[in-house]
Amino acid sequence: MHTNALHDPAHAFMPYPAVPVPHAPTGPLAGLSFAAKDLFHIAGYPTSGGQPLLLALLGVQSRTAPTVQRLLDAGARFAGKTITDELAFSMNGQNAHFGSPINGAVPERITGGSSSGSASAVSNQLCDFALGTDTGGSVRAPASHCGLYGLRPTHGRVSLHDTLDLAPSLDTCGWFARDAATFARVADVLLGPDTTPLGTEAGGVRLLLPTDLWELATPAARKALAPARAQVEQVLGKARNTRVVLDGLDDMYWHFRHIQGAEAWQVDGGFIQRFAPPLGPGVSQRFAWSAQVSDAQAASARAFRDRFRAHMAQLLGSNGVLLLPTMPDVAPLVSEPEAGLEDYRNRSIRLLCAAGLAGLPQLSLPLAQRAGAPLGISLLGPAGSDRSLIALAEQIAQHTAA
Protein backbone atom coordinates (compact mmCIF):
# COMPACT_ATOMS: atom_id res chain seq x y z
CA MET A 1 0.00 0.00 0.00
CA HIS A 2 1.06 3.56 -0.64
CA THR A 3 2.86 5.09 2.33
CA ASN A 4 5.25 7.66 0.94
CA ALA A 5 4.21 10.18 -1.71
CA LEU A 6 7.88 10.78 -2.54
CA HIS A 7 8.25 7.19 -3.76
CA ASP A 8 5.59 7.13 -6.43
CA PRO A 9 6.34 5.11 -9.57
CA ALA A 10 2.92 5.99 -11.04
CA HIS A 11 3.47 9.77 -10.66
CA ALA A 12 -0.04 9.84 -9.18
CA PHE A 13 0.66 11.82 -6.00
CA MET A 14 1.76 15.37 -5.24
CA PRO A 15 5.24 15.24 -3.64
CA TYR A 16 4.09 16.73 -0.33
CA PRO A 17 5.76 15.65 2.91
CA ALA A 18 3.50 13.12 4.66
CA VAL A 19 1.48 14.61 7.53
CA PRO A 20 -0.58 12.45 9.92
CA VAL A 21 -4.30 12.65 9.08
CA PRO A 22 -6.29 10.96 11.88
CA HIS A 23 -9.05 8.51 10.94
CA ALA A 24 -11.57 6.54 12.98
CA PRO A 25 -10.24 3.13 14.09
CA THR A 26 -13.49 1.40 13.05
CA GLY A 27 -16.35 2.13 10.66
CA PRO A 28 -17.88 1.08 7.34
CA LEU A 29 -14.68 1.99 5.43
CA ALA A 30 -12.18 0.56 7.94
CA GLY A 31 -9.35 -1.25 6.18
CA LEU A 32 -9.65 0.88 3.03
CA SER A 33 -7.18 3.58 1.96
CA PHE A 34 -8.05 6.57 -0.21
CA ALA A 35 -6.46 9.49 -2.02
CA ALA A 36 -7.93 12.93 -2.77
CA LYS A 37 -7.46 15.15 -5.80
CA ASP A 38 -5.42 18.23 -4.94
CA LEU A 39 -8.48 20.50 -4.98
CA PHE A 40 -9.73 19.26 -1.59
CA HIS A 41 -8.39 21.07 1.46
CA ILE A 42 -6.87 18.72 4.05
CA ALA A 43 -5.51 20.13 7.31
CA GLY A 44 -1.70 20.01 7.35
CA TYR A 45 -1.41 19.74 3.58
CA PRO A 46 -1.08 22.44 0.90
CA THR A 47 -3.66 22.75 -1.91
CA SER A 48 -2.31 23.54 -5.38
CA GLY A 49 -5.12 23.07 -7.88
CA GLY A 50 -2.28 21.79 -10.09
CA GLN A 51 -0.81 25.32 -10.36
CA PRO A 52 2.55 26.18 -8.67
CA LEU A 53 1.78 29.86 -8.09
CA LEU A 54 -1.61 29.01 -6.58
CA LEU A 55 0.16 26.46 -4.36
CA ALA A 56 2.45 29.23 -3.08
CA LEU A 57 -0.50 31.58 -2.51
CA LEU A 58 -2.77 29.08 -0.74
CA GLY A 59 -0.10 27.33 1.32
CA VAL A 60 -0.80 24.76 4.02
CA GLN A 61 -4.46 24.44 4.99
CA SER A 62 -5.90 24.43 8.51
CA ARG A 63 -9.27 22.89 7.55
CA THR A 64 -10.32 19.57 6.05
CA ALA A 65 -13.08 19.44 3.42
CA PRO A 66 -16.22 17.87 4.97
CA THR A 67 -16.40 15.16 2.29
CA VAL A 68 -12.85 14.05 3.13
CA GLN A 69 -13.70 14.18 6.85
CA ARG A 70 -16.71 11.88 6.32
CA LEU A 71 -14.43 9.27 4.79
CA LEU A 72 -11.93 9.58 7.67
CA ASP A 73 -14.75 9.34 10.22
CA ALA A 74 -15.95 6.17 8.47
CA GLY A 75 -12.55 4.56 9.08
CA ALA A 76 -10.79 5.10 5.73
CA ARG A 77 -7.06 5.83 5.84
CA PHE A 78 -5.71 8.82 3.89
CA ALA A 79 -2.93 7.88 1.43
CA GLY A 80 -2.07 11.28 -0.09
CA LYS A 81 -3.11 14.09 -2.42
CA THR A 82 -3.14 13.36 -6.12
CA ILE A 83 -2.08 15.40 -9.12
CA THR A 84 -4.87 17.27 -10.90
CA ASP A 85 -4.77 18.84 -14.34
CA GLU A 86 -3.95 22.52 -14.01
CA LEU A 87 -6.83 24.44 -12.36
CA ALA A 88 -8.89 21.33 -13.22
CA PHE A 89 -9.45 22.77 -16.71
CA SER A 90 -8.36 19.86 -18.91
CA MET A 91 -9.34 16.34 -19.81
CA ASN A 92 -5.95 14.89 -20.77
CA GLY A 93 -4.33 14.05 -17.44
CA GLN A 94 -1.11 15.86 -18.32
CA ASN A 95 0.11 18.63 -15.99
CA ALA A 96 2.87 20.84 -17.45
CA HIS A 97 4.24 21.58 -13.94
CA PHE A 98 3.76 18.39 -11.91
CA GLY A 99 3.87 15.73 -14.62
CA SER A 100 1.52 13.15 -16.06
CA PRO A 101 0.12 10.39 -13.84
CA ILE A 102 0.47 6.93 -15.40
CA ASN A 103 -2.58 4.94 -16.53
CA GLY A 104 -2.41 1.70 -14.52
CA ALA A 105 -4.38 -0.22 -17.15
CA VAL A 106 -2.42 0.91 -20.25
CA PRO A 107 0.71 2.95 -19.40
CA GLU A 108 1.20 4.02 -23.03
CA ARG A 109 -2.18 5.81 -23.04
CA ILE A 110 -3.27 8.97 -21.18
CA THR A 111 -5.18 8.66 -17.90
CA GLY A 112 -7.56 11.44 -18.83
CA GLY A 113 -8.18 14.40 -16.54
CA SER A 114 -8.62 16.42 -14.61
CA SER A 115 -8.86 13.78 -11.84
CA SER A 116 -5.84 12.08 -13.43
CA GLY A 117 -3.82 11.39 -10.28
CA SER A 118 -6.81 9.87 -8.48
CA ALA A 119 -7.56 7.50 -11.38
CA SER A 120 -3.86 6.66 -11.64
CA ALA A 121 -3.55 5.90 -7.91
CA VAL A 122 -6.54 3.53 -7.98
CA SER A 123 -5.66 1.85 -11.31
CA ASN A 124 -2.07 1.30 -10.08
CA GLN A 125 -3.45 -0.20 -6.84
CA LEU A 126 -1.77 2.46 -4.66
CA CYS A 127 -5.05 2.93 -2.75
CA ASP A 128 -8.52 1.37 -2.71
CA PHE A 129 -10.54 4.37 -3.87
CA ALA A 130 -9.95 8.05 -4.60
CA LEU A 131 -11.91 11.30 -4.70
CA GLY A 132 -12.09 13.32 -7.88
CA THR A 133 -14.25 16.10 -9.24
CA ASP A 134 -16.28 16.09 -12.45
CA THR A 135 -17.27 19.35 -14.18
CA GLY A 136 -17.16 18.37 -17.84
CA GLY A 137 -16.15 14.72 -17.49
CA SER A 138 -13.19 14.71 -15.13
CA VAL A 139 -14.25 11.53 -13.30
CA ARG A 140 -16.07 9.77 -16.15
CA ALA A 141 -13.25 10.19 -18.71
CA PRO A 142 -10.41 8.79 -16.55
CA ALA A 143 -12.72 6.03 -15.24
CA SER A 144 -13.32 4.88 -18.82
CA HIS A 145 -9.63 5.25 -19.76
CA CYS A 146 -8.26 3.42 -16.70
CA GLY A 147 -10.84 0.62 -16.38
CA LEU A 148 -12.48 1.90 -13.19
CA TYR A 149 -15.93 2.54 -11.78
CA GLY A 150 -16.47 6.30 -11.63
CA LEU A 151 -19.49 8.46 -10.76
CA ARG A 152 -20.51 11.97 -11.60
CA PRO A 153 -23.21 12.40 -8.90
CA THR A 154 -26.41 14.45 -9.05
CA HIS A 155 -25.26 18.08 -8.90
CA GLY A 156 -24.99 19.20 -5.27
CA ARG A 157 -25.44 15.76 -3.75
CA VAL A 158 -21.87 15.38 -2.41
CA SER A 159 -20.40 18.46 -0.71
CA LEU A 160 -17.62 20.42 -2.42
CA HIS A 161 -17.25 22.76 0.58
CA ASP A 162 -13.56 23.64 1.22
CA THR A 163 -12.68 22.46 -2.28
CA LEU A 164 -11.34 24.61 -5.14
CA ASP A 165 -14.00 25.47 -7.74
CA LEU A 166 -13.79 25.39 -11.53
CA ALA A 167 -17.39 26.13 -12.59
CA PRO A 168 -19.62 25.84 -9.50
CA SER A 169 -22.96 25.27 -11.25
CA LEU A 170 -21.37 22.25 -13.04
CA ASP A 171 -18.81 21.00 -10.47
CA THR A 172 -19.51 17.69 -8.71
CA CYS A 173 -17.58 15.44 -6.32
CA GLY A 174 -17.14 11.86 -7.55
CA TRP A 175 -14.82 8.94 -6.87
CA PHE A 176 -13.12 5.90 -8.40
CA ALA A 177 -12.81 2.26 -7.35
CA ARG A 178 -11.64 -0.91 -9.08
CA ASP A 179 -14.70 -3.01 -8.16
CA ALA A 180 -18.42 -2.41 -7.66
CA ALA A 181 -18.47 -3.66 -4.04
CA THR A 182 -15.83 -1.17 -2.83
CA PHE A 183 -17.51 1.56 -4.87
CA ALA A 184 -20.82 0.82 -3.12
CA ARG A 185 -19.24 0.95 0.36
CA VAL A 186 -18.04 4.49 -0.36
CA ALA A 187 -21.45 5.38 -1.81
CA ASP A 188 -23.17 4.43 1.45
CA VAL A 189 -20.97 6.91 3.32
CA LEU A 190 -21.06 9.79 0.82
CA LEU A 191 -24.53 9.53 -0.72
CA GLY A 192 -26.95 8.22 1.88
CA PRO A 193 -30.38 7.07 0.61
CA ASP A 194 -31.74 8.17 -2.78
CA THR A 195 -34.42 10.83 -3.18
CA THR A 196 -35.46 9.04 -6.40
CA PRO A 197 -34.89 5.31 -5.81
CA LEU A 198 -35.13 3.40 -9.09
CA GLY A 199 -37.24 0.34 -9.69
CA THR A 200 -39.53 0.88 -6.72
CA GLU A 201 -42.62 1.12 -8.91
CA ALA A 202 -44.16 -1.65 -10.98
CA GLY A 203 -42.10 -2.49 -14.06
CA GLY A 204 -38.77 -1.61 -12.43
CA VAL A 205 -36.21 0.23 -14.54
CA ARG A 206 -36.89 1.44 -18.10
CA LEU A 207 -33.59 1.05 -19.97
CA LEU A 208 -33.22 3.60 -22.78
CA LEU A 209 -30.67 3.68 -25.60
CA PRO A 210 -29.91 7.26 -26.78
CA THR A 211 -29.13 6.55 -30.44
CA ASP A 212 -27.95 10.13 -31.09
CA LEU A 213 -25.29 9.86 -28.36
CA TRP A 214 -24.18 6.38 -29.49
CA GLU A 215 -23.38 7.92 -32.88
CA LEU A 216 -20.63 9.95 -31.15
CA ALA A 217 -18.61 6.80 -30.39
CA THR A 218 -16.27 5.60 -33.13
CA PRO A 219 -17.47 2.56 -35.12
CA ALA A 220 -14.70 0.47 -33.48
CA ALA A 221 -15.80 1.59 -30.00
CA ARG A 222 -19.47 0.85 -30.73
CA LYS A 223 -18.51 -2.66 -31.84
CA ALA A 224 -16.35 -3.16 -28.70
CA LEU A 225 -19.22 -1.94 -26.48
CA ALA A 226 -21.81 -4.34 -27.97
CA PRO A 227 -21.07 -7.22 -25.54
CA ALA A 228 -21.18 -4.80 -22.57
CA ARG A 229 -24.51 -3.47 -23.78
CA ALA A 230 -25.77 -7.07 -23.97
CA GLN A 231 -24.54 -7.74 -20.39
CA VAL A 232 -26.50 -4.76 -19.09
CA GLU A 233 -29.61 -5.74 -21.06
CA GLN A 234 -29.48 -9.29 -19.60
CA VAL A 235 -29.91 -7.76 -16.14
CA LEU A 236 -32.12 -4.73 -16.85
CA GLY A 237 -34.10 -5.86 -19.89
CA LYS A 238 -33.96 -4.79 -23.52
CA ALA A 239 -33.17 -1.10 -24.07
CA ARG A 240 -35.67 1.00 -26.00
CA ASN A 241 -34.29 3.52 -28.51
CA THR A 242 -34.66 7.19 -27.67
CA ARG A 243 -33.09 10.54 -28.54
CA VAL A 244 -31.61 12.94 -26.02
CA VAL A 245 -30.21 15.87 -28.01
CA LEU A 246 -32.18 19.11 -27.77
CA ASP A 247 -31.87 21.69 -30.61
CA GLY A 248 -28.59 20.17 -31.87
CA LEU A 249 -25.37 18.59 -30.65
CA ASP A 250 -23.34 21.66 -31.51
CA ASP A 251 -25.84 23.86 -29.63
CA MET A 252 -25.48 21.65 -26.55
CA TYR A 253 -21.70 21.67 -26.82
CA TRP A 254 -21.45 25.46 -27.07
CA HIS A 255 -24.00 26.11 -24.32
CA PHE A 256 -22.05 23.82 -22.02
CA ARG A 257 -18.76 25.47 -22.90
CA HIS A 258 -20.18 28.98 -22.44
CA ILE A 259 -21.43 28.19 -18.91
CA GLN A 260 -18.19 26.43 -18.00
CA GLY A 261 -16.02 29.19 -19.52
CA ALA A 262 -17.93 32.08 -17.96
CA GLU A 263 -17.79 30.48 -14.50
CA ALA A 264 -14.15 29.33 -14.81
CA TRP A 265 -13.15 32.90 -15.65
CA GLN A 266 -15.20 34.22 -12.73
CA VAL A 267 -13.39 31.76 -10.41
CA ASP A 268 -9.82 32.00 -11.75
CA GLY A 269 -9.74 35.13 -13.92
CA GLY A 270 -8.70 37.48 -11.11
CA PHE A 271 -5.80 35.22 -10.16
CA ILE A 272 -4.71 34.89 -13.82
CA GLN A 273 -4.93 38.65 -14.50
CA ARG A 274 -3.13 39.65 -11.32
CA PHE A 275 -0.27 37.13 -11.33
CA ALA A 276 -0.03 36.08 -15.02
CA PRO A 277 0.96 32.54 -13.95
CA PRO A 278 2.57 30.37 -16.64
CA LEU A 279 -0.23 28.04 -17.77
CA GLY A 280 0.35 24.77 -19.60
CA PRO A 281 -0.66 24.12 -23.25
CA GLY A 282 -4.40 23.81 -23.81
CA VAL A 283 -5.16 25.31 -20.38
CA SER A 284 -3.89 28.78 -21.30
CA GLN A 285 -5.92 28.73 -24.55
CA ARG A 286 -9.07 27.64 -22.70
CA PHE A 287 -8.77 30.45 -20.16
CA ALA A 288 -8.06 32.99 -22.92
CA TRP A 289 -11.22 31.77 -24.67
CA SER A 290 -13.20 31.79 -21.41
CA ALA A 291 -12.30 35.44 -20.78
CA GLN A 292 -14.14 36.30 -24.03
CA VAL A 293 -17.46 34.59 -23.19
CA SER A 294 -20.05 37.39 -23.11
CA ASP A 295 -22.79 37.85 -20.52
CA ALA A 296 -25.34 37.36 -23.31
CA GLN A 297 -23.78 34.02 -24.32
CA ALA A 298 -23.76 32.84 -20.70
CA ALA A 299 -27.39 33.92 -20.13
CA SER A 300 -28.53 32.20 -23.33
CA ALA A 301 -26.67 29.04 -22.27
CA ARG A 302 -28.32 29.04 -18.84
CA ALA A 303 -31.75 29.46 -20.42
CA PHE A 304 -31.02 26.47 -22.66
CA ARG A 305 -29.91 24.48 -19.61
CA ASP A 306 -33.29 25.10 -17.93
CA ARG A 307 -35.08 23.77 -21.02
CA PHE A 308 -32.73 20.78 -21.28
CA ARG A 309 -33.26 19.87 -17.60
CA ALA A 310 -37.03 19.84 -18.12
CA HIS A 311 -36.58 17.78 -21.32
CA MET A 312 -34.42 15.18 -19.51
CA ALA A 313 -36.74 15.05 -16.47
CA GLN A 314 -39.66 14.28 -18.80
CA LEU A 315 -37.66 11.69 -20.78
CA LEU A 316 -36.42 9.78 -17.70
CA GLY A 317 -39.38 10.21 -15.35
CA SER A 318 -38.66 8.44 -12.07
CA ASN A 319 -37.38 5.13 -13.50
CA GLY A 320 -35.71 5.81 -16.88
CA VAL A 321 -32.00 4.94 -17.20
CA LEU A 322 -29.92 5.81 -20.25
CA LEU A 323 -27.30 3.32 -21.42
CA LEU A 324 -24.55 5.14 -23.31
CA PRO A 325 -20.83 5.05 -24.14
CA THR A 326 -18.83 6.95 -21.51
CA MET A 327 -16.27 8.20 -24.05
CA PRO A 328 -16.02 8.21 -27.87
CA ASP A 329 -13.18 5.66 -27.76
CA VAL A 330 -10.29 4.27 -25.70
CA ALA A 331 -7.74 6.74 -24.29
CA PRO A 332 -5.45 8.42 -26.84
CA LEU A 333 -1.75 7.49 -26.76
CA VAL A 334 0.51 9.60 -24.53
CA SER A 335 2.44 10.47 -27.70
CA GLU A 336 -0.67 12.01 -29.36
CA PRO A 337 0.09 15.65 -30.30
CA GLU A 338 -1.77 18.48 -28.52
CA ALA A 339 -4.00 19.13 -31.57
CA GLY A 340 -5.17 15.51 -31.61
CA LEU A 341 -5.87 15.58 -27.87
CA GLU A 342 -7.87 18.80 -28.23
CA ASP A 343 -9.93 17.23 -31.03
CA TYR A 344 -10.61 14.17 -28.84
CA ARG A 345 -11.56 16.47 -25.93
CA ASN A 346 -14.09 18.37 -28.07
CA ARG A 347 -15.66 15.13 -29.36
CA SER A 348 -15.82 13.85 -25.78
CA ILE A 349 -17.57 16.95 -24.41
CA ARG A 350 -20.41 16.40 -26.89
CA LEU A 351 -20.95 12.97 -25.32
CA LEU A 352 -20.32 14.04 -21.71
CA CYS A 353 -22.28 17.30 -21.60
CA ALA A 354 -25.77 15.75 -21.31
CA ALA A 355 -25.29 14.77 -17.64
CA GLY A 356 -23.48 18.04 -16.90
CA LEU A 357 -26.15 20.30 -18.38
CA ALA A 358 -28.96 18.32 -16.77
CA GLY A 359 -27.22 17.96 -13.38
CA LEU A 360 -27.89 14.20 -13.47
CA PRO A 361 -25.92 11.25 -12.09
CA GLN A 362 -23.85 9.20 -14.54
CA LEU A 363 -21.92 6.08 -13.55
CA SER A 364 -19.20 4.64 -15.80
CA LEU A 365 -18.76 0.84 -15.62
CA PRO A 366 -15.50 -0.82 -16.77
CA LEU A 367 -17.18 -3.51 -18.89
CA ALA A 368 -15.48 -3.29 -22.27
CA GLN A 369 -12.12 -2.96 -23.97
CA ARG A 370 -10.67 -2.37 -27.39
CA ALA A 371 -7.09 -2.70 -28.63
CA GLY A 372 -6.09 -3.94 -25.16
CA ALA A 373 -7.36 -0.75 -23.51
CA PRO A 374 -10.40 -0.26 -21.22
CA LEU A 375 -13.62 1.32 -22.44
CA GLY A 376 -16.45 2.37 -20.14
CA ILE A 377 -20.21 2.11 -20.63
CA SER A 378 -22.47 4.41 -18.60
CA LEU A 379 -25.78 4.38 -16.77
CA LEU A 380 -27.39 7.84 -16.49
CA GLY A 381 -30.43 8.20 -14.25
CA PRO A 382 -32.87 10.79 -12.89
CA ALA A 383 -31.74 13.35 -10.29
CA GLY A 384 -31.26 11.67 -6.93
CA SER A 385 -30.99 8.10 -8.27
CA ASP A 386 -27.20 7.80 -7.74
CA ARG A 387 -27.25 5.03 -5.14
CA SER A 388 -29.73 3.01 -7.23
CA LEU A 389 -27.44 3.26 -10.28
CA ILE A 390 -24.60 1.82 -8.17
CA ALA A 391 -26.89 -1.00 -6.96
CA LEU A 392 -27.65 -1.78 -10.64
CA ALA A 393 -23.89 -1.81 -11.35
CA GLU A 394 -23.44 -4.30 -8.50
CA GLN A 395 -26.15 -6.54 -10.00
CA ILE A 396 -24.50 -6.35 -13.43
CA ALA A 397 -21.07 -7.15 -11.93
CA GLN A 398 -22.46 -10.16 -10.02
CA HIS A 399 -24.25 -11.41 -13.14
CA THR A 400 -21.05 -11.02 -15.18
CA ALA A 401 -18.99 -12.88 -12.55
CA ALA A 402 -21.53 -15.71 -12.48
Of 309, 352, 322, the closest CA to residue 240 belongs to 322
Catalytic residue selected from 114, 118, 123, 364: 114
Which phi and psi (to 5°) does residue 60 adopt? -75, 135
Catalytic residue selected from 138, 144, 364, 388: 138
Is 159 a known active-site residue? no
Which phi and psi (to 5°) does residue 314 adopt? -70, -40
Q: Are 152 and 185 in contact (CB under 8 A)?
A: no
What CA–CA distance (Å, rounded) separates 40 from 376?
26
Of 1, 90, 65, the closest CA to residue 346 belongs to 90
Q: b/e for 249-269, b at 16 or more Cβ within 10 A?
A: beebbbbbbbbbbbbbbebbe
Q: Are 31 and 66 in contact (CB under 8 A)?
A: no
Catalytic residue selected from 33, 37, 348, 388: 37
Q: Are 252 and 353 in contact (CB under 8 A)?
A: yes
Is 33 a known active-site residue? no
* In 204-270, beta strands by DSSP E: 206-210, 240-242
What CA–CA distance (Å, rounded) separates 94 from 390?
29
Of 143, 138, 137, the closest CA to residue 120 belongs to 143
Is 116 a known active-site residue? no
Strands 172-177 and 149-152 turn out to be antiparallel
What CA–CA distance (Å, rounded) separates 285 from 143?
25
Distant-in-sequence, close-in-space partners of 363: CB < 8 Å, separation ≥ 6: 149, 150, 151, 152, 378, 379, 380, 386, 389, 390, 393
Q: Are 99 and 120 in contact (CB under 8 A)?
A: no
Q: Are 78 and 65 in contact (CB under 8 A)?
A: no
CA quadruple 224, 226, 229, 231: dihedral positive or negative? negative
Active site residues: 37, 114, 138
